[in-house]
């Protein structure tokens, strides 16, 4: 039995202690926002927060979450479903193409901005370096992080993002 706080709520789940957090939240708790990418902690699609720090949930055993706080993409926005500043910036900057990596990208960006509210391009690149986007929307990702941090204005709604 594993017991931890998931998106602000205490959960108890019957799971092998070595089962990765990814599979516990997806298969045991029905939260499909966290994605399986590579399975070896290299792509970042499975990123969640463990006590506020981004971790790769595909390689982090649920036993490591015992008594701790796990936040998934479902827990990033407000309690009534409102989007976080990072999620809003993702929409305004039209970041996703296929969208598969986006939950992990948003989790890493959220942690970055919590720790560094005005990151430089170098700070963004370093914090996001473990998150792979197969569609190559890195320019949009960087811009969305700057929008969320208040460093630049968001593009007007329905504006062409221009770059992939």
Task: Please tell us whether the domain made up of 2-75 is placed in CATH 3.40.50.300.
Answer: no
Q: Where in the chain is the domain with CATH 3.10.20.30?
A: 2-75
117-136: burial string, b at 16+ Cβ within 10 Å, e else: eebeeeebeebbeebbbeee
Averaged pLDDT, groups of 10, the chain, 164 residues long: 96 98 98 96 97 98 98 94 96 94 97 97 96 95 97 75 49
pLDDT at 154: 87
Class at the top of the CATH hierarchy for domain 85-148: mainly alpha
pLDDT at 94: 95
Which pairing describes strands 2-6 and 69-71: parallel, antiparallel, or unpaired? parallel
pLDDT at 126: 97
pLDDT at 162: 52
pLDDT at 160: 57
pLDDT at 140: 96
């Amino acid at each position: 039995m594993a017991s931890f706080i998931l998106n602000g709520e205490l959960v108890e789940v019957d799971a092998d202690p070595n089962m990765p957090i990814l599979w516990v939240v997806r298969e045991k708790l029905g939260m499909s926002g966290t994605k399986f990418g590579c399975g070896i902690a290299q792509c970042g699609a499975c990123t969640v927060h463990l006590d506020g720090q981004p971790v790769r949930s595909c390689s982090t055993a649920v036993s490591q979450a015992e008594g701790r706080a796990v936040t998934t993409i479902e827990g990033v926005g407000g309690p009534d479903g409102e989007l976080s500043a990072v999620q809003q910036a993702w929409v305004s900057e039209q970041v996703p193409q296929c969208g598969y990596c986006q939950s992990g990208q948003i989790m890493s960006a959220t942690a970055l901005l919590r720790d560094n509210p005005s990151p430089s391009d170098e700070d963004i690149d370093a914090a996001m370096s473990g998150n792979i986007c197969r569609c190559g929307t890195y320019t949009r990702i960087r811009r969305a992080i700057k929008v969320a941090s208040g460093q630049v204005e968001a593009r007007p709604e329905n504006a062409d993002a221009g770059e992939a």
